[in-house]
């Protein structure tokens, strides 16, 4: 029997998904036991014993912002999932942090990627793994900064007094994007999307100075996924 889906990871994005009827028949796997179908480490489990899934969503976050933590999740755990799970579609939750800074100009999926930090470099390697292993049917969603829908963690300020663009999306909107990407099984494959709100959040310290940073476009997600945020 083919199961509708498997959600890898358990965080606020996963919790937002479980509130959507679409995900009610999905299974989940994480290192935490509460509320998950399977508990364990992807690199240590016998994943081949799990059933076949229509869709697998990889939404595991590193435990810390260190190079070792990023490699453990986006290289080791991701490779284990891609190689040993049985699935028809694979969805990777990546990040818009992969884009290089461009002094406030608009960025889309074809823009230059950042090669200056280990974070963006490892994310790029993770995306390449998905392309090479799940080459037949995959979707990569590059999420901008996630926050609670009440806005409690939106608009995080920089330490330096600079005007900057901050791209934001709520966890609830992120769950909607994952549902849209899962629904388009026969229409959208081998695609990359930037998942962010329609308008970048403008953090202004000096209204007389221009804003720097990234302004990320979500036009492709609108056009192909029908995702309006």
CATH number at residue 102: 3.40.50.720
Give me the domain span that covers residue 221: 2-225
Q: For tokens 């016998």, what's the residue? A: 46
Q: Give the range with max mean pLDDT: 77-86, 102-111, 183-192.
A: 77-86
Q: Is the pLDDT of residue 40 over 80?
A: yes
Give the pLDDT band of residue 55 (cuts 50, 70, 90): very high
State the pLDDT at residue 154.
46
- For 117, the token pair is 């930090």
- CA-to-CA distance for 27 and 30, rounded, in angstroms? 10
Span 104-135, pLDDT tens digits: 788 999 999 998 999 999 999 999 999 999 97
Position 182 confidence tier, pLDDT thresholds 50, 70, 90: very high
Please state the rounded mean pLDDT for residues 162-179: 88
Q: Is 186 helix (H, G, I), strand (E, B) or coil?
A: coil
Q: How far out from the chain centre does Cα 12 lie?
A: 12
State the Cα–Cα distance between residues 126 and 61, nearest whole angstrom: 13
Contacts within 8 Å (CB) and 24+ apart, 43-46? 43/72, 43/76, 43/77, 43/80, 45/80
Domain total of the chain: 1
């Amino acid at each position: 029997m083919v199961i509708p889906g498997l959600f890898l990871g358990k965080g606020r994005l996963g919790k937002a998904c479980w509130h959507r009827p679409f995900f009610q028949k999905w299974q989940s796997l994480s290192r935490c036991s509460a509320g998950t179908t399977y508990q364990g480490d992807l690199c240590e489990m016998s994943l081949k014993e799990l059933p076949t899934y229509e869709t697998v969503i990889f939404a595991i976050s590193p435990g810390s912002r260190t190079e070792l933590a990023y490699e453990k999740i986006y290289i080791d755990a991701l490779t284990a999932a891609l190689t040993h799970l049985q699935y028809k579609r694979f969805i990777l939750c990546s990040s818009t942090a992969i884009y290089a800074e461009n002094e406030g100009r608009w960025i889309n999926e074809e823009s230059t990627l950042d090669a200056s930090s280990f974070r963006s470099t490892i994310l790029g390697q993770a995306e390449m793994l998905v392309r090479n292993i799940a080459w037949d049917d995959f979707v990569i969603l590059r999420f901008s900064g996630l926050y609670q829908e009440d806005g409690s963690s939106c608009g995080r300020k920089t330490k330096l007094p600079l005007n900057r663009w901050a791209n934001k999306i709520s966890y609830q909107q992120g769950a909607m994007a994952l549902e849209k990407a899962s629904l388009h099984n026969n229409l959208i494959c081998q695609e990359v999307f930037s998942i962010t709100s329609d308008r970048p959040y403008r953090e202004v310290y000096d209204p007389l100075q221009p804003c720097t940073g990234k302004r990320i476009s979500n036009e492709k997600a609108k056009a192909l996924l029908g995702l309006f945020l």
